[in-house]
Amino acid sequence: MCVGLSARVVSIEDGTALIDASGAKRKVSADLIDDLEPGDYVMVHAGVAIAKITDTDADESRKIMESLDGNGETDH
Q: What is the pTM of this model?
A: 0.76
pLDDT (0 to 100) of residue 75 = 47
pLDDT (0 to 100) of residue 71 = 54
**Per-domain residue ranges of the chain:** 5-68
Residue 51's DSSP bridge partners are: 43
| CATH class for the domain made up of 5-68 | mainly beta
pLDDT (0 to 100) of residue 55 = 80
pLDDT (0 to 100) of residue 1 = 53
| Residue 21: burial class (beta carbons within 10 Å; 0-12, 13-18, 19+) | middle
Does 12 have pLDDT greater than 60?
yes
- In tens, the pLDDT along 19-75 reads 998 899 999 999 999 999 999 999 999 999 999 988 887 778 778 777 877 655 544
**CA atoms of 61 and 76, how far apart (whole Å):** 27
